[in-house]
Amino acid sequence: MSDTAERPTSNTPHYVNAAPWDPYVSEKLTAEQEKYYMAGQWKLMWWRFRRHRPAVVSAAFLALMYFSCLISEWIAPYDLQTRHIKSIFAPPQAVHLFHEGRFLGPFVYAQKMTRDMDTLQRVYTEDLGNPQPLRFFCRGESYQFWGVIPGSFHLVCPAEDGTFFLLGTDRLGRDMFSRIVYAARISLTIGVIGITLSFTLALILGGLAGYYGGWVDMIVQRLTEILKSFPHLPLWLALSAALPVTWSPLLVYFGITLILALLDWPSLGRAVRSKLLSLREEDYAMAAQMMGAKPGRIIGRHLLPGFMSHLIASATLSIPSMILAETALSFLGLGLRPPITSWGVLLNEATDINVVAVNWWLMLPVVPVILVILAYQFMGDGMRDAADPYA
């Protein structure tokens, strides 16, 4: 460098901006975009799930149902086993608001039973002169809350020395509505517990098969093939017929759940296996192996999270079939036994065509079955769509 060039003589102030240069200055992210790009995987999934209307409604519905299981004792006006000898096979009592043109609040008319002397059937008629206002947030039949805490609080009770059979009564005069409410506890949990078991089985067996390959894979593959190729219902029947009669109903409940899970895991296990087969070839799995991570850690910590969302979605989609299976087994009399009551056990009373013809309300437990299954189906669909938020 020579000094021939003229140095600037004037003292123009040289301005330097101290702030760091922002390379994205031309394409500024809006706050919304920023939020989107910074969001984690699960957050993205939640956003995506939220867009799926039926799924959200279904999820809310299911949440409500499961919540009702927590407070069945409050919701049901009667106990599971309370018998009303004077109202056997009573039809549902309609809730009215106006009595002779006068607003009375929600009430039911008392039922009068007479016998049809030709058919010997009980005939119930509404006694229009005798309205019985319902009581709300009231003290009614006493119960053991969750079998432990004694109490008598109900959300709805019949009038003093009146009756309130929203959905009629069964052959022993037990209130159907209360029974359906209590049965929800069993029917709803059996699906969830069953799927948890089958999920665990699928993770372990599918994980082993997919990660190790070789003869482990071979055995698990054959096992899934056999289990998948065999019709489930006869096998379920055989297995539940094998549960000893001497078992307590609670043990039978867990036995049935286990049986449902035993036949359910293959399809999930297959999904786990095929995903693991492809993922274990990824560089990061290799890296983990090089660093000395044990197989359990590699599978659980590095590989599984990559497709956990898919698994959960497909597991959700197989809950309905479990609930249906339990219903079918109990309906055939090989499932749960009273006093454990599920919707299937209730439907067991509706085996006869005469029931359909005369006491149609005994079939009402099927309504919650259908609703819950549809809700799970829609929610599962929504979850499956949301499971891959980057797609």
Partner 1 sequence: MLNYVIRRLLIMVPTLFVISLLVYVIIDLPPGDCVTSQIDELLSRGDPDALRRADELRHLYGLDQDLLIRYFRWIGGVFRWDFGLSCQDTVPVRDLIGERLALTMVMESCTILFIWTVSFIIGVYAATHQYQLGDYVASFIGFIGLAVPNFLLALVLLYVGKVYFGLSIGGLMDPEFIDKPFSWGKFWSVAQHLVIPVIVIGTSGTAGMIRRLRANLLDELQKQYVVTGRAKGLPPLKLLIKYPLRHAINPFVADIGHLLPEVISGSVIVSVVLSLPTTGPMLLGALKTQDVNLAATFLLFVAVLTVIGMLVSDLLLAALDPRIRFGATSEK
* Nearest C-alpha neighbor of 207 from the set 98, 299, 72, 89: 299
Separation of alpha carbons 36 and 43, rounded Å: 9
Residue 114 within binding range of partner 1, rule CB under 8 A: no
Amino acid identity of 166? L
* Nearest C-alpha neighbor of 331 from the set 304, 306, 352: 352
Nearer to partner 1, 23 or 234 (CB): 234
Of positions 195, 202, 208, 243, contacts partner 1 by CB under 8 A = 243
Which residues make beta-bridge pairs with 112? 125
Residue 237 within binding range of partner 1, rule CB under 8 A: yes
Q: Residue 231, preceding bond cis, omega within 30 degrees?
A: no
Give the count of residues interacting with partner 1 (CB under 8 A).
Answer: 41
Chain mean position to CA 37: 32
Residue 219 within binding range of partner 1, rule CB under 8 A: no
Residue 226 within binding range of partner 1, rule CB under 8 A: yes
Instruction: Quickly tell me which residue has 């506890």 as its tokens.
Output: 185
Of positions 150, 214, 244, 292, contacts partner 1 by CB under 8 A = 244
Of positions 5, 19, 94, 245, contacts partner 1 by CB under 8 A = 245
Nearer to partner 1, 203 or 329 (CB): 329
Residue 138 within binding range of partner 1, rule CB under 8 A: no
Instruction: Quickly tell me which residue has 């009038």 as its tokens.
Output: 159
Of positions 148, 241, 290, 391, contacts partner 1 by CB under 8 A = 241
Among residue numbers 292 through 351, which ones bind partner 1 (CB under 8 A)?
320, 324, 327-328, 331-334, 347, 350-351
Residue 391 within binding range of partner 1, rule CB under 8 A: no
Residue 204 within binding range of partner 1, rule CB under 8 A: no
CB of 224 to partner 1, least distance (A): 12
Among residue numbers 341 through 380, which ones bind partner 1 (CB under 8 A)?
347, 350-351, 353, 356-357, 363, 366, 369-370, 373-374, 377
Contact 128, 101 (CB under 8 A): no
Amino acid identity of 343? W
Nearer to partner 1, 128 or 356 (CB): 356
Amino acid identity of 276? L
Nearer to partner 1, 168 or 368 (CB): 368
Of positions 46, 230, 296, 301, contacts partner 1 by CB under 8 A = 230
What sign does the dihedral 88-94-96-99 (CA atoms) show?
negative
103 token code pair: 């607003």
Nearer to partner 1, 242 or 286 (CB): 242
Residue 232 within binding range of partner 1, rule CB under 8 A: yes
Of positions 33, 42, 219, 225, contacts partner 1 by CB under 8 A = 225
Residue 233 within binding range of partner 1, rule CB under 8 A: yes
CB of 121 to partner 1, least distance (A): 17
Nearer to partner 1, 26 or 354 (CB): 354
Nearer to partner 1, 140 or 320 (CB): 320
Residue 171 within binding range of partner 1, rule CB under 8 A: no
Contact 154, 141 (CB under 8 A): yes
CB of 244 to partner 1, least distance (A): 5
Nearer to partner 1, 286 or 370 (CB): 370
Residue 234 within binding range of partner 1, rule CB under 8 A: yes
Residue 389 within binding range of partner 1, rule CB under 8 A: no
- Binding residues vs partner 1 (CB under 8 A): 222, 225-226, 228-235, 237-239, 241-246, 320, 324, 327-328, 331-334, 347, 350-351, 353, 356-357, 363, 366, 369-370, 373-374, 377
